[in-house]
Amino acid sequence: MKKVVKFGGSSLASAAQFKKVGEIIHADADRKFVVPSAPGKRNSKDTKVTDMLYATYAYAEAGNDFSKALAQIKNRYQEIIDGLCLNLSLDAEFEEIAKQFKNKAGSDYAASRGEYLNGIIMANYLGYEFINPAEVIFFDENGEFMADKTDEILSQRLKNVERAVIPGFFGAKEDGTVKTFSRGGSDITGSIVARAVKADIYENWTDVSGCLIADPRIVDNPKPINTVTYRELRELSYMGASVLHEDAIFPVRKAGIPINIKNTNAPKDPGTWIVESTCQKPPYTITGIAGKKGFCAINIEKDMMNGEIGFGRKVLQVFEENGISFEHMPSGIDTMTIIVHQSEFMEKEQRVLAGIHKLAEPDSIEMESDLALIAVVGRGMKAAKGTASRIFATLAHSNINVKMIDQGSSELNIIIGVKEADFETAIRQIYSIFVDTALEKSKK
Ligand code: ASP
């Protein structure tokens, strides 16, 4: 068996956390490839090393003396090195970083040093080979990740390597310039490495015991999700559930490798399994609920709209020409509604309205802002009858007006639009009707 293990920033924030990680790795000989993040927060008031690096670089770029700020970052690493009693000096590395900052090497280079240095410490601590991602993970000149080239070179590089540390978050363009993924991108590196070594499992270690059915800031003590499919997770993370970077699914999905989200501070907890597909019945009809605020609906009316060929295209063309992507598009016989992100739409609002009037000549256009979208996701919904009716009955009982409904043909999710003020109550009610009710039934 071969496992790739990625550890998040809070799992590597201090020497004490490093020791927990060391124990986890040594407890299972299959944990052969380790992908570390940069040191995260040690407590709620602390600053992530990545944020310190971005800030220090901005300060340096503006021509200031950044030596003190860089020394603070060095201290964070020195504390870890001392706490682990390692015979390791990062002096030469920090001299090089200072030189590169003066040469304006770029904020991607700066941020990437967080993972790079933590990788050096981790490799030294474990006695594993260190692999520089800049030599094996590639981006094209536009900054797009090159999946196939990376897979080819990385799998070749790791072919005869027994155990290695590959820092997360970055790679390089073909000309050697360092390039990072977006924030939280070490999750993607872990997935890339798992694909390259054809791992059996990609373990993603963080500070929670997996994904929860709903946001714990909204629902008290939500139940964990034991198993979720890639597609379900994609729907949930798109709508704001944030345990894993949303792009981290793609490399392992290609290779059919399951992801196991685990908790460094509670390693015995089973965590969440993210899989291609499963026969395992979910304990509830729904797998998860997620949602986001900040949407706006544009309702367009025109008599006989349905018979007018090209009406929808003309409307969508206006959005396209203004560079606005739409989220949903429910329609009736004489009406069509476009749901967009309010922040994207606001500044172009009048241009879009004028464009629709000019191109599609509707009878009227009305707008409604401050909407929230809620996604109720679950592979179990396909087989269950009455899911939608349960959702809408509970919302009606709570006096919540449903503004929009969209159910994909896959029957994997139902999207509901409500006023922002009803958002939290709606999520709590939906959670309760599926999870609490099922729990009560099972007790009887
Ligand atoms: N250190 C980077 C960040 O804070 C990447 C990561 O942790 O995945 O975003």
Residue range 18-48, pLDDT digits in tens: 999 999 999 999 999 999 999 999 999 999 9
Residues 6+ apart with CB under 8 A from 152: none
Q: Which atom of ligand 1 is nearest to the CA of 115?
A: 1
Q: What angle do CA 382, 393, 386 make, to 5 degrees?
A: 25
Partners of 228 in the beta sheet?
A: 274
Quick check: 198 pLDDT over 90? yes
pLDDT tier for residue 127 given thresholds of 50, 70 and 90: very high
Residue 279, exposed/middle/buried by CB under 10 A (0-12, 13-18, 19+)? exposed
Q: Residue 112 C-alpha to ligand 1 middle, in angstroms?
A: 9
Lowest mean pLDDT among 100-104, 166-170, 247-251: 247-251
Q: Which atom of ligand 1 is nearest to the CA of 183?
A: 9
Q: Which residue has the higher pLDDT, 413 or 55?
A: 55
**Whether residue 114 has its Cβ less than 6 Å from ligand 1:** yes
**Whether residue 50 has its Cβ less than 6 Å from ligand 1:** yes
Protein residue with its CA nearest to atom 6 in ligand 1: 184
Q: Which residue has the higher pLDDT, 208 or 91?
A: 91
Strand order in the sheet with 170-173: 138-139, 170-173, 178-180
Residues 6+ apart with CB under 8 A from 357: 365
Q: Residue 91 C-alpha to ligand 1 middle, in angstroms?
A: 23
pLDDT, averaged across the chain: 94
**Whether residue 186 has its Cβ less than 6 Å from ligand 1:** yes
Q: Which atom of ligand 1 is nearest to the CA of 37?
A: 7
Residue 207, exposed/middle/buried by CB under 10 A (0-12, 13-18, 19+)? middle
Ordered DSSP codes for 402-420: P-EEEE-TT-SEEEEEEEG
Mean pLDDT of 12-23: 98
Whole-number percent of the chain with pLDDT over 90: 84
What pTM was estimated for this model as a whole? 0.87
Alpha-carbon dihedral angle through residues 257, 261, 266, 270, given to the nearest 10 degrees: -60
For the stretch 258-315, pLDDT in tens is: 999 999 999 999 999 999 988 877 788 899 999 999 999 999 999 988 888 999 999 9
Out of 125-134, 326-335, 432-441, give the one with best mean pLDDT.
Answer: 125-134
Quick check: 351 pLDDT over 90? yes
Q: Residue 358 C-alpha to ligand 1 middle, in angstroms?
A: 46
**Whether residue 9 has its Cβ less than 6 Å from ligand 1:** yes
pLDDT tier for residue 138 given thresholds of 50, 70 and 90: very high
**Whether residue 184 has its Cβ less than 6 Å from ligand 1:** yes
Mean pLDDT of 182-200: 97
Quick check: 444 pLDDT over 90? no
**Whether residue 378 has its Cβ less than 6 Å from ligand 1:** no
**Whether residue 38 has its Cβ less than 6 Å from ligand 1:** yes
Give residue 443's pLDDT.
78
**Whether residue 169 has its Cβ less than 6 Å from ligand 1:** yes
Quick check: 437 pLDDT over 90? no
Mean pLDDT of 62-80: 97
Mean pLDDT of 81-87: 98
Nearest to 28 by CA among 248, 168, 201: 201
Q: Which residue has the higher pLDDT, 85 or 438?
A: 85
Give residue 373's pLDDT.
96
**Whether residue 37 has its Cβ less than 6 Å from ligand 1:** yes
